Structure formats: C-alpha cells, structure tokens
Chains A and B, each alone.
Chain A
C-alpha cells in the first residue's frame, strides 16, 4: 500500500521536512514577536469568569465587612508576572469590602511584594486605611510549613511583632487574635513550596471550618492544588487567566477611578498569552505535519 508521504509532490514534501528541522532561533524570534506585539498593541480579549474565579469572589464577598483576612504572599519576583495581578485584585477586593487585612510572607522576597501592594494598591485606592487598624504587615518568617503549624496554635509564637517591630499585642487589628482560626478568611498567593498546599495541610486541616481558604496559584502548581478544591479550598485562581477573570469580577463591583491599569494587569497579560498559545498550537501542528511528511502515517507510528 502506498504511504501518504509518497503521494505528496517532492517539492512540498521537502519543504515540510525542512520546516520540521527549523533552527530553534527562528522559534525564539517567533515567540518574542508573539509576546511583544500584543503587549505593544495593548491587545485585550473579553474574558468570561469561570467557576473557580467566581467561587473565590463569592468567598470574599460572603464574609461580613470588618472580618479579619490574612493574605500570604508566598511568591517572589520570578513569578510576580503571573501572580501579582491576582494578589492586587484580592487585596483591593478585601479592602473595598471593608475587611481588616493582615499581610505576611513565607517566601523571603514576598514581604517586599506585599510592601509594594500596600503602597500601590491598598493606599492608592483606599487612602483612608490606617496601619494597625485596617491593615498590618507581619512580614516574612522563616520556617516554611512550621510557621503555619505554629500559627495554628499561637500566632504570637510565630510573630512577636509586625514588620516594623511593633509588638502584636499593641496592634488593634490583632486584638483577640490567638490563632489563624480567628481569621475569617485566609488567601495564599502561592508559587510553590511553602504555599497554598501547606496552608491546606497544616492550617486548614488543623482547624477545618474555622476559616474560609482561597488560593491563587501559578499554572504549573495548579495540578497539585486541584484535589483540594472545592472541599478544603473555597476558591482558586489559576494563572493569569484566573487573575483576569477575577479582576473582571472585582472591578465590575468595585470600580476604581484612578490608576485603573494596576487592576487590569491580568487582562492585559492575556493578550500575549493568547498569541503565544496560538503560536504553540501552530508549532505543534507544523512539527507533526513535518513528521508525517517525512515518515508517512505508518512510519510515524514506529
């Protein structure tokens, strides 16, 4: 039986085979263009909020104003491009709803990211918020899951003072707070270990039903966290798409009048992702067509 590659004209077959052996630098150039062009053109696409983004939004909405919320910045600048948009949206959402917010970090550089968020989001959109009363920056604490375990029995043991050195006994927001069970909601914006998985294993499992737990995560880490949704995690934001969907929900209900671009980063970054994904699909198709041209259907299966 005649194989398919033999049915192709030699010129086309040769061209397809050559395309399959294309130098990787051409691929790099194509990726660079696919990412840079939509960024420069500020290309945006409409997003429809998915179930998980909606669940995250609903979890934060469902607790009464004035509730205590703990946001853990469990990532660093390497994954900030993917996670910072959702961290910003969560912070703005909590502040807009009137929750009292404690920020902390299990990653050494998470503290700086939380500082940036306080300056660029919290105080930019909610200048009336008072440190110690409406928000507190606890800072970074070494010890990974040990910190979570300790906070589930005594926060004072883990954090004797906030990041500025003020004893937590003198911070009004933390008055009466003994463990993480005294928070109504915990959000971990997580790029790996320690992160959302450890919060579930050592925090949520230590006191189930004491608080709602939501997570924001990188696309790579999401597969590790999916088994915990929706039982242990009320909501989950996955990668930049999750951030874009959640941003839409938050800014629709709590619009901002200035510096709006800071709460549109997720949607802005979906543009490059859109084109880059299409390029990847195109490359995969090209690679397979080239393989078939070289070997035929039967040869490809060998």
Chain B
C-alpha cells in the first residue's frame, strides 16, 4: 500500500508545485527544490543505466545468444573507460596542487580519458553518423519512386530541398527577376515556401497535439488516475 501511495503523493505534490510555480512567486523556491531533486535523480539514472547495461549484456554473454561477442566488447570498453576515468589515469597534475593526483585534469590527450575521447570515441561516433550518407543515398534511390500522388508530392519536395540547399539552386534560378510574377520559383523563395509555410504549419499542428497530449497525461499522473509510472513492469 505505502509502496504505491507515498510515490504517488510525491509525484502529485511535485507536479502541482511545478504548475503553481508558474503562477505564484511563493512557490518558486519550492519548484527550485523539486527541480533539484529531478537533477539528482537524473544523476542516479546514470548509475541505474550502467547497472542495466551490465545486466543485459552479461545475460547475453552467459546465454551465448547471437552477437554475444559485441556485448563482451561493450562491457570491456565500459569497464576500461570506468577505470581510466575514475582513477584519472595519466591525468595532467594541477598547477596549484601538483601532489594531489585526483586534482589533475584529464581533458588533454595525455590522460587516458582524454586520449580515449579524442582517438576512439570521437572518430567512432563520427563514423557511425557519416555512414548515414550511404544508407540515405541507397534508400532514396529505391524509395523515391513516383508511384502515386502522395509519392510525387514527397519526391517533389525532396527534389526542391536537395537543390536549394546547394549553390546549384541559386545558379539555376537566379535569372528569374526578383520583382516578377515568377519570383516564387527562385531557390530562396521555394525553400521559404516549403520550410516556412508547409513544414512549419505541419510541425505546429504536431507540436500542439503533443502539448495537449502531454498536458492530459500529466494531469492523469498528478491526479493519480494513471498509475502505470508506479508499476514495476
């Protein structure tokens, strides 16, 4: 009983305080407190995340499920970064406290953490992101086919954006006089029409929908109607 009631009370009180803080200066300092709790919990979530990473990958290794070797690499990398980071291995001594090892900085590549960031993490994450270019090209070739009216709209929009995002768009349309009736066909006008009219209108509708949904869900949580956040599974 208490296991569910107390968290529900904390949840409701926190939600109400955060709402009231927008309307009353008295509750402003309370909201600071609540947001501080949130930030502490977010820090704890890192530890929980690490625990979850260990549990999921250890289970995968022990049951030798397909791809277990990747899990082993994940755990070895995780352990190595944890040890290097916490021990400040190779940290550059602090000028004011040269004798205190833990006061040293590990931002430079002389330190293990800085080295791993600069020469392992940065290139790896950048490579992963860069691979998108290849997949996007392949997907565009296969998927952008003018099969029906909706597909033609999508295709046309992609075509315009691809063209106006590079100098070729301006090169091809700059001959159209700015004050003529056809000025809307100039690259910058086409871009503005697509992004600031159609795209913005669509996104505004989506954002308003999300905001209403968030408000409704928040109210259900605060009033205790929706208790799914308190359940284990």
Binding site for B on A (CB under 8 A): 22, 24, 27-28, 30-32, 35, 45-48, 50-51, 76-81, 109, 112, 115, 141-144, 146-147, 149-150, 153-154, 157-158, 219, 222-224, 226-227, 239, 241, 270, 273-274, 276-281, 283-284, 286-288, 291, 300-302
Contact = CB atoms under 8 A, between A and B. Distances in A.
Given A226-B195, A301-B147, A270 B167 contact: yes
Nearest to B192: A51
B28 to A, nearest CB: 6
Contacts of B200: 226-227
Contacts of B199: 223, 226
Contacts of B140: 280, 283-284, 287
Given A78-B126, A280-B137, A143 B163 contact: no
Interface in B25-80: 28-29, 31-32, 35-36, 38-39, 42-43, 46
Contacts of B121: 77, 109
The dominant DSSP class at the B interface is helix
B39 A27 contact: no
A27 B141 contact: yes
Contact of B137 (A31, A157, A241, A273): A31
Contact of B39 (A141, A219, A273, A288): A141
A50 B195 CA distance: 13
B46 A142 contact: yes
Nearest to A45: B167
A281 B159 CA distance: 7
The dominant DSSP class at the A interface is helix
Given A149-B35, A226-B200, A300-B146, A280 B162 contact: yes
Contacts of B144: 284, 287-288
A277 B171 CA distance: 14
Interface string B114-134: 100100011101101110011
Contacts of B36: 150, 157
A300 B147 contact: yes
B85 to A, nearest CB: 11
A146 B39 contact: yes
Given A81-B126, A283-B141, A288-B144, A31 B42 contact: no
Given A280-B137, A284-B141, A77 B207 contact: no
A158 to B, nearest CB: 7
A146 B41 CA distance: 11
Given A150-B35, A150-B36, A280-B162, A27 B125 contact: no
B134 A277 contact: no
Contact of B166 (A22, A45, A219): A45
B4 interface: no
A76 B125 contact: yes
B11 to A, nearest CB: 15
B137 A279 contact: yes
B159 A284 contact: yes
B24 interface: no
Given A143-B43, A227-B204, A153 B28 contact: yes
Contacts of A28: 134, 137-138
Given A141-B39, A270-B167, A277-B163, 6 more contacts: A77-B122, A143-B38, A149-B31, A241-B166, A277-B162, A284-B158
